[in-house]
A = this chain, B = another copy of it.
Amino acid sequence: MLVLVKRLSTQQPKRPLIVLQKSLNKNVIVKLKNDIEYRGRMNNVDSYMNLILEDAEEFNGETHLANYGKVVIRGNNVLFIQIASEI
């Protein structure tokens, strides 16, 4: 019983990853640690924040740098992910 309670209670702190999972196919802005932004549709994401971005565009601030199509971004480079409805 205690174990079950613990399981339930430890699920709550995982929410940021669940929010990301519920935002699949939304437009996102992914800011990396090197300050470059990638804007596109978040096709998928895992618990490490590795993510697939489709129709990805690369920006340095407001300066458009490149179009990348489909890219897989390695999660450890992510600073933050801004989700679609807020863009």
Contacts and interface: CB of A to CB of B under 8 A. Distances in A.
Interface of A: 10, 12-17, 19-21, 32-35, 38, 43-47, 49-52, 68-83, 85-87
A33 B87 contact: no
Dominant SS among interface residues on chain A: mixed
A74 B79 CA distance: 6
Contacts of A44: 12-13, 15-16, 19
A81 B71 CA distance: 6
Q: How many copies does the complex hold?
A: 7
B71 A82 contact: yes
Contact of A52 (B19, B71, B72): B19
A60 B78 CA distance: 19
Contact of A82 (B17, B70, B86): B70
